[in-house]
Structure 1
Amino acid sequence: MKALRFGRHAAIAVIAAGALALSACGSDNATGTAPAGSQSAGGTKVTGTLTGIGSSAQGAAMDAWKTNFASANSGATVQYSPDGSGAGRKAILDGSAQFAGSDAYLKDDEYASSKSVCGPDGAINVPVYISPIAVAFNVPGITDLKLDATTVAKIFRGQIAKWNDPAISALNPGVSLPDLKVTPVNRSDDSGTTQNFTDYLAAAASDVWTDKAAGVWPAGLQGENAKGTSGVVKTVTDTPGAVTYADDSAVSGKLGVAQIKVGDSFTKISADAAAKAVDAGKPVEGRAANDQSIKLDRKTTIAGAYPIVLVSFHILCTTYDKQETVDLVKAFEHYVVSAEGQKAAADSAKSAPLSSDLAAKAAKAIDSIKVKS
């Protein structure tokens, strides 16, 4: 498990104030020429600046993608501000970014709104990153615990006050649990990680977690909060007894990570286990023809599947105003979903590569992007 984790880069390239003013998605100012469809960082050369806003969970993968793409395309720059999935979706809907990184696909009302910016087919969700969400804790002397959905839900609802609570002890016979206060730590921002985590709780522990899945943490629950993936991980690292949910790539070796009960057994967190859960997902209906939104089965009983998983998307317009923008978007996104791009993400963020079938569907979706007529 420890091989899955690394320290997330403390800073990710952020859009400098005044560096780039964008209007609607279809009329941004990416420049350059090249046919779309490059499937590696060193494919057909493009130039220009591409601006994205969104998921902090994508941060490590995005660092690798940006660096490799820019190295192979000396005139091209990708700027990405990891302000959270909600901020990313807002940015593409108001035209202030050319793509959004989001750990949750567009909601129905967001998809409807995207048509005013992206054309009659609206925006599409393209999967680019698969990662398990860790239930990470700071209990001195303990690095491995077994938890089921009900117990996780009770912990984050404040219904379990101490780490030696009978509910935790029953799942971990032989483990000497301390009489230590449990401090849940949640995201303070609108987060796709929160959306996926609460989706799991609402589906797998509905008798305890009575709130609907949402990107914003339910008001009124006990605990601490912090902004972004790095914020919650730091808070837990600094607070004995604290527990949070976070992209596993950001969880340091100082923290313990729970195994999650699936069916009659417990599944250790891993990229392969996350991919197995995603493969069991179903497409979301009522979207654009090439949209690749995935509805996950949080109550799966498939052996070896890890159900607290996020599929992170790049949300793209189906049409842009300029051919130059279309070429740049296609070139970058083709690299991201290519075998080369997925390997770069796996090496830097320990994510699970897209399956060959999912990658092919993603490439087809990217190919469908065109200039507004």
Structure 2
Amino acid sequence: MNRTKLRVAAPLALAATVALGLSACGADNEAGADDDATTSSLSGTLNGAGASSQEAAVGAWQAGFQTANPDVTVNYDPAGSGAGREQFIAGGTDFAGSDAYMDDEELASAKERCGSDVIEVPTYVSPIAVIYNLPGVDGLQLSPDTAGKIFEGKITTWDDEAIKADNPDADLPSTKITPVHRSDDSGTTENFTAYLSAAAPQGWTGGTVETWPVKGGEGAQGTSGVVAAVQGGEGTIGYADASQAGDLGVASLKVGDEYVGPSPEAAAKILEASKQVEGRGETDIAMEIDHGTTEAGVYPAVLVSYQIACLQYDDQAKADLVKGWLSYVASSDGQQAAAEGAGSAPLTSALEERISGIVDGISAK
């Protein structure tokens, strides 16, 4: 699917479901840390699937949510954004996580599955880090054009003149470059290629896509798979949610006349210039991101990950569970937990309030 949008979700190298005992807080229980856990009336199981980029955040949400609601379990399979949307549309899960918002065809299918409007709200904002493994080279800097040519296979060694121009003080070896990309349909890939398409139209010609379009390099499934592949080979370079970069080198990208690193603060600034996708309903907050911005201090390679759910469910218990889960995820407590556990950028208070109003509308048919 070719979309010039920003989303929010991605896949996995863990082929197994990550069962996270998450407690759901009730519709009236805002799932906040201040609530008395003993008063929670929620119980049961929620099943979700989607972006592997959210895995660290989901773990943080799990900890806070389970404390408030010990009788609820949330299973989340980080199978990737595309797989998450597919499973949700097919009725196999109660909610989905996605680094890409649904296209019009998916949205129509999701409404049919739900028998109601669909909730699609951004809950996770994180920079996409360009990670690399090149001993002796710290503080790598890349212009968008250079990055695009590396990932398209046009620049093949680390001592290429274009990389030298971005890093005049670095001692760059003649090591062969091995680009690592996602082998599965990925919201992270779509957001990263959206950045390359907008910021480096000459260096990158692969378009904005969920499925990696360039032959060659090394493919790996899920965020964890890309990270492992970059760790496992010298001269490797890849892209992954910044929260999972670990000890790998992380490049700064050129924005205007400066090089900016992938901090949560720099990523959050791009939302200030973002616009909502036109033609969507009141429960759908899909965002268009300006990946080509040259505004100072902004890190433009970002993903905005969404939680996708039905506005109505077949029974009240399921509706209450989904409402409780989404209420916590989008709350100040939930956003702070993700910031501390995954390095994400918390939502603005205005966006939190808007999402809360949407989630409050979840009900039984």
Question: TM (normalized to structure 2)?
Answer: 0.90
Cα drift, residue 322 of structure 1: 1.1
**Size of the alignment, in residue pairs?**
346
Match of 2:30 in 1: 38
Deviations 1:23-45 (A, max 9, x none): xxxxxxxxx99544614156462
Change (3 A) 1:143 1:12: farther
Cα pair 1:53 1:81 within 8 Å, conserved? yes
RMSD: 2.0
Change in Cα spacing, 1:143 to 1:155, as seen in structure 2 (3 Å) is same
2:61 aligned to 58, 61, 65, which one? 65
> Which amino acid is 2:107 matched to?
Y
Find the counterpart in structure 2 of residue 232 from structure 1.
Answer: 226
Residue number in structure 1 paired with 2:336: 343
Task: Tell me which residue corresponds to 1:188.
Answer: 183
Match of 1:168 among 156, 163, 171: 163
Q: Contact 1:12–1:63 at 8 Å: present in 2 too? A: no
Contact kept, 8 Å, 1:36 with 1:330, in 2: the verdict is no
Name the counterpart of 1:252: 246
Residue-by-residue CA offset, 1:282-317 (whole Å, 9 max, x unaligned): 101122212111110011122111000001111111
Look up the SS of the partner of 1:50 in the other structure. strand
Give 3-state SS (helix, strand or coil) of 1:197's partner. helix
* 1:92 is aligned to 2:85: no
The 8 Å contact of residues 281 and 296 in structure 1, kept in 2 or not, is answered as yes
Aligned twin of 1:293: 286
Determine helix, strand or coil for the equivalent of 1:195. Answer: helix
Q: In the TM superposition, what are the counterparts of 1:277-292 in structure 2 within 5 Å?
A: 277-292=270-285
C-alpha contact (below 8 Å) 2:144/2:203 kept by paired residues: no
> What is the TM-score normalised by the length of structure 1?
0.88
Q: Is the 8 A contact 1:102 1:315 kept in 2?
A: yes
SS of 1:53's equivalent in the other structure is strand
| Contact 1:196/1:309 (<8 A) preserved | yes
Question: Shift of the alpha carbon at 1:120?
Answer: 4.2
SS of match in other structure, 2:253: strand
In structure 2, the CA distance between the partners of 1:41 and 1:189, relative to structure 1 (3 Å rule), is: farther
Query: CA separation in 2, counterparts of 1:265 and 1:184?
Result: 24
Question: How many Å apart are 1:277 and its aligned residue?
Answer: 1.1
Q: 3-state DSSP class of the match of 1:266?
A: strand
Q: Is the aligned partner of 1:14 residue 2:17?
A: yes
Query: For 1:135, what is the secondary structure of its paired residue?
Result: strand
The residue that corresponds to 2:10 in the other structure is: none
Whether the 8 Å contact between 2:15 and 2:79 is mirrored in structure 1 is no
Letter in 2 for 1:311: V
> How far apart in 2 are the matches of 1:152 and 1:183?
13
CA shift in 2, pair 1:61/1:178, >3 Å: same
SS of 2:76 mapped into structure 1: strand
Partner of 2:78: 82
Give the 4+ runs in structure 1 shifted more than 6 A. 10-13
SS of alignment partner, residue 106 of structure 1: coil
Are 1:370 and 2:363 matched, yes or no? yes
State percent identity of aligned pairs: 50
Q: Secondary structure at the match of 1:260?
A: strand
Name which of 233, 236, 244 aligns with 1:242.
Answer: 236
Deviations 1:99-134 (CA, angstroms, capped at 9, x unpaired): 00111111111111111111242x221111111000
Q: Distance in 2 between matches of 1:186 and 1:287?
A: 31
Conserved in 2, the CA contact under 8 Å of 1:36 and 1:326?
Answer: no
Residues 12 and 59 in structure 1, CA contact (< 8 A), matched pair in contact too? no
Alignment correspondent of 2:148: 153
Cα shift at 1:72: 1.4
What's the secondary structure of 1:65's corresponding residue? helix
Q: CA deviation at 1:371?
A: 2.1
Given that 1:42 and 1:73 are in contact with CA atoms closer than 8 Å, whether structure 2 keeps it comes out as no
Residue in 1 that maps onto 2:4: none
Instruction: Confirm whether residue 311 of structure 1 aligns to residue 311 of structure 2.
Output: no
Change (3 A) 1:144 1:312: same
* Structure 1, unaligned runs of 5 or more: 1-9, 17-31
Q: Deviations over 1:305-361 (max 9, x none)?
A: 100000111111121111111111111111111111111111111111111112112
Distance across 2 between alignment mates of 1:362 and 1:155: 39
Shift of the 156–33 alpha-carbon distance from structure 1 to 2, 3 Å rule, reads: closer
Give the secondary structure class of the aligned counterpart of 1:306: coil
Give the conservation status (yes or no) of the 8 Å contact 1:13–1:80. no
Q: State the 1:15 CA deviation.
A: 6.2
Q: Shift in Å at residue 153 of structure 1?
A: 0.6
- Are 1:102 and 2:98 counterparts? yes
Deviation at 1:221, TM superposition (A): 2.1
Q: Secondary structure of the equivalent of 2:309?
A: strand
- Counterpart of 1:271, as a letter, is P
